[in-house]
Structure 1
């Protein structure tokens, strides 16, 4: 009888993370009712987006990171719109108010979402592209795939240079359902610790903290993070960045000197792949550049992008 009890306990331990995930709230039309912005049914599911600024302004597309949906861009969007830019932000699948489709979240997956969204909006003119954290890897991948569509690229604390490699991450990336079990069991604790650590190190707007924590309420968020770890974040973006150098795309990379998520070595790695990148370091910044150091980031971006009222804003080579 003891062995039956032991088996029962083991079965409960194995099942619990999956049961908790299944019990989380499902992203639905009701949940989306109070969300700002708009929604569209694309090829992989419903996507949430927001388009702001003058219709005649040069377009800036912003891609968020692994765990922070499009609300992370709110402070920077206001500044860019005030400068005369038109700004498109959207929730990557698995985050925010967008759907949670299954499948590997690799470069092709993210390229398709952005391409589908641009097609829906009838945007065919070249635009500026900004990527934050994992969004930097996504943005670099999109620009390398569609070089004629991107005028200038801005990377904020960008992923894709070095790969974080710990025993736990290797297990999650390579062990199938066992890796998913560990992800479901351990990630909520790790994410909440990361949020608290950032609060301690930096002044983080309360709406950013609340929005990050709210992601854990919804079914499909943690599997989406895991799928990105197994996909877009599973290998360095060396080929993509070397391709961007060959085509001569202007690139600005902004780093936080106190960033505990993206190591300082990432800047050196990107410089080795593309010596034409312009690098800027914000000395007292951590990883949350768009919302902790908005003014400093905005100043650097404004100095890099052609002004909306300049004669050459639509004529980058």
Structure 2
């Protein structure tokens, strides 16, 4: 694993977005973008596997997460700003890329793929689609930014096993890895590796359904749509309607909700097979 960084221009000035990179530097690029409160290290298992297959895999920490800079204005923590940061990364890469986006990372991918002249060749949307129901948005609004300081890594791991149980069945080693890569030092212990202020734009308004049909309607590249069978965020009817398009392949992951962790060998094989086409 290698580390990288890019300076990007936001409305508040220049900031640094960092990423984690796997595989040969001259491999065909795959960009993997994480969910709302997560980091690029969530993709370590997938990225290592794709890297061994010859792909260059780049997993950024979105602004306010992981090793990337926090932003001074909480209201900047919104998808258009993330897309701006990611566009700087894409410009640095140059040329075509494949995209794997979990939840928020998929929203960013859709926004980019809906833009004329975009560089995305194929895209994996992991448990995110054209519509997010109000109930799911209310659940997100309730928990985001509320995580406490944890005494130590095992205590944080116990918390993750509860709140991220919908990731699916993970081994003890996988839960420990997620805990270790999710932690940042905090007074009297450790905290999750994101700026609590990312909650501000979500908390600024009442929870309402998120309609992404406008973006989705302009996405024409091949898409692998992955849905956790128990997901409350990507409903089965939404996924089924999206899969009516010829360029969309739908795969449902049993025993998972929002969102499949993409650490299981079968899930990795599903993504890898799609990206080699």
Question: Which TM-score band applies after superposition, normalised by the shorter structure?
Answer: 0.7 to 0.9
What's the counterpart of residue 221 of structure 1?
195
Q: In the superposition, relative to structure 1, how do residues 85 and 228 fare at CA in structure 2: closer, same or farther (>3 Å)? A: farther
| 2:216 equivalent to 1:241 | yes
Structure-2 separation of matches of 1:133 and 1:259: 11
Alignment of 1:289 with 2:260, yes or no, is yes
Q: Which residue of 2 aligns with 1:187?
A: 146
Three-state SS of the structure 1 residue aligned to 2:217 is helix
- Taking the TM superposition and a 5 Å limit, the aligned residue runs for 1:95-174 are 95-101=65-71, 102=73, 103-119=75-91, 121=92, 123-158=93-128, 160-165=130-135
| Aligned mates of 1:159, 1:66 — CA distance in 2 | 15
- Evaluate the alpha carbon distance shift between residue 37 and residue 146 of structure 1 in structure 2; reply closer, same or farther with a 3 A threshold: farther
CA contact (8 A) 2:3 2:18 kept: yes
- Partner in structure 2 of residue 56 of structure 1: 26
1:298 aligns to what? 268
For normalisation by structure 2, the TM-score amounts to 0.76
Shift of 1:253: 0.6
CA RMSD of aligned residues (A): 3.4
Aligned mates of 1:74, 1:217 — CA distance in 2: 20
Q: Deviations over 1:17-45 (max 9, x none)?
A: xxxxxxxxxxxxxxxxxx96133332131
The ranges of structure 1 where at least 4 consecutive aligned residues each deviate by more than 6 angstroms after the TM superposition are none
Residue aligned with 1:187, SS:
coil
1:291 is displaced (CA, Å) by 4.5
1:192-244 per-position Cα deviation (integer Å, ceiling 9, x unaligned):
8664244596325112034335497379722114436769x973211111111
In 2, distance between residues paired with 1:141 and 1:235? 14
For the residues of structure 1 that align with 2:194 and 2:269, how far apart are their CA atoms?
36
In structure 2, relative to structure 1, the CA distance for the partners of 1:147 and 1:283 (3 Å cut) is: farther
Aligned equivalent of 2:153: none
Gaps of 5+ in 2: 149-155
Give 1 or 2: higher strand fraction. Answer: 2
1:202 maps to which residue?
A: 169
Give me the TM-score of the superposition, normalised by structure 1.
0.68
Q: Within 5 A, what are the aligned runs for 1:39-50?
A: 39-44=5-10, 45-50=15-20
Give the 3-state SS of the residue equivalent to 1:57 in structure 2: coil
Q: Which residue of structure 2 aligns with residue 88 of structure 1?
A: 58
Any stretches of 5+ residues in structure 1 without a counterpart?
Answer: 1-34, 173-181, 308-317
Q: Deviations over 1:154-211 (max 9, x none)?
A: 11112552133479669x6xxxxxxxxx878x7226x986642445963251120343
Q: Using the alignment, how far apart are the partners of 1:279 and 1:264 within structure 2?
A: 10
